[in-house]
């Protein structure tokens, strides 16, 4: 299962993309629905844009374990075009099997 590092949602993406600045503006877990009004979402992302949510690592990894999966592998990778890759991995992936 692959997922984004929840920390990706902390930062102001305009400052990151335009100036390479890591400015914390959101708290976790993140949700487009709670962060922006419907009007702000339509202006910022477009009326038909998909909504984004972050999940805690407890939700992502703990949820797999709680569902009876056994983690047999883990990998992480940076976002190659994002300045945050200098400081953290943006993508995580788990390999999980369900015994029985």
End-to-end CA distance of the chain: give it in Å, rounded: 19
Q: What's the confidence (pLDDT) of residue 97? A: 98
pLDDT at 81 over 80: no
For the chain, the average pLDDT equals 92
Per residue in 15-34, pLDDT tens?
Answer: 988 998 999 999 999 999 99
C-alpha neighbours within 13 Å on the C-beta side of residue 68: 3
pLDDT in tens, 54-79: 999 999 999 999 999 999 999 999 88
What pLDDT does 20 receive? 87
pLDDT of residue 64: 97
Question: Would you list the domain boundaries of the chain?
Answer: 2-97
With 0-12 / 13-18 / 19 or more C-beta atoms within 10 angstroms meaning exposed / middle / buried, residue 8 is buried
């Amino acid at each position: 299962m692959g997922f984004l590092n929840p920390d990706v949602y902390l930062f102001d993406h305009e400052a990151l993309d335009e100036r390479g600045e890591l400015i914390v503006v959101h708290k976790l877990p993140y949700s487009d629905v709670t962060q922006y009004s419907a009007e702000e979402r339509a202006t910022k992302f477009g009326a038909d844009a998909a909504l984004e949510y972050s999940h805690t690592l407890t939700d992502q990894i703990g949820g797999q374990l709680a569902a009876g999966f056994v983690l047999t592998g883990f990998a992480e990778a940076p976002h190659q075009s994002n300045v945050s890759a200098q400081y953290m991995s943006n993508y995580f992936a788990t390999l999980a099997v369900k015994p029985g």
